[in-house]
Amino acid sequence: MWFGKACVEFFRKTSTVWPNTSTIPPVKRVLKIDEWFHPDGFPISVERREPQEHFEPHAHEFAELVIVTGGKCLHVTGNESWDLTAGDVFVIAGPREHEYRELVDLRLINILYQPAQLKMGLLDLPSVAGYHALFTLEPSWRTRQPTKGKLHLTSKDLAQVIELADRLEIELKAREPGFGFMATASFMLIIGLLSRCYGRSPSPDGRALLRIGEALSHLERNIHREIDLEELATIAHMSQRSFLRVFQSAVGTSPLAWVIGQRINRACSLLRHTDKRITEIAFDVGFNDSNYFTRQFTKATGLSPRNYRMRQGVV
């Protein structure tokens, strides 16, 4: 599956990387896409800060994967702060303001990316619990538990990530024919490696997020099945009550709502790229009632499945 418009729905509706803006105060500065990306529109950019100098509090119009390669600082988001050291990795996205204070030879590799514009096939990556933990759960969890669940790389893993980031930067600077493919491949390797690294996280808080990530991976693999709360709680090593509470806190929605969002996303892709009948698509993505599918689809997208397909230019 290739991500274009489908990626918009994925990141807007099923990921908690973009927090509820109604609870976030206005920020002083928002970094704009046209200021930080190449004029050709390619949706990945690399910014090295060696060292990082003081930069005013800011938010982004894009997502940012931050790799701390040296030094230390205090990372501040809103009213919360925590220490960063070499090997720390995290994702910043959406309108949440952040800045670095008390810098001591801080060195960073910032990989900027536009999720909605990436044409990147995730293939079986969502089956990796560390992917959900790092790119979906941890950014949201950080707004509630700022020191919890952070990924910290070993020196060996950090060296490997830096090597991949170097390769990505070389492609982006040279921009030779085919650079888009090569740069995207390097970016995918970085995401895949970091997802695996999170899976080896020794911290108790990281393990807690991984358990929720395992539940998400299970839901992803069994998207057509009815939700079995007892099974999910067992996977997460929690009671059902604790699982629901932690899932809601980390993901921002209930397991049922998350699954419905995933099914709608898949339906959007099928409506755009196939000529299957709407009833057939409803059953393909896991709905047992086409009328219920239509109601949920309309609620999520603002359009009926038929109108959505027509809007995409598919007859």
Nearest to 126 by CA among 256, 220, 8: 220
pLDDT digits (tens, 9 = 90+) for 51-97: 999 888 999 999 999 999 999 999 988 778 889 999 999 988 767 78
pLDDT tens for each residue of 254-270: 999 989 998 998 899 89
Domains in the chain: boundaries: 19-203, 255-311
266-282: pLDDT as tens digits = 899 899 889 899 999 99
Matching CATH topology for 19-203 and 255-311?
no
For the chain, how many helices (H) and strands (E)? 13, 8
Are β-strands 151-152 and 88-92 bridged in parallel, bridged antiparallel, or unpaired?
Answer: antiparallel
| Residue 112 DSSP SS3 | strand
Q: Are strands 98-113 and 44-49 parallel, antiparallel or unpaired?
A: antiparallel
| CATH 2.40.50.140 given to domain 19-203 | no
**Which CATH number fits the domain 255-311, given the four candidates 3.40.47.10, 1.20.120.1630, 1.10.10.60, 3.40.50.300?**
1.10.10.60
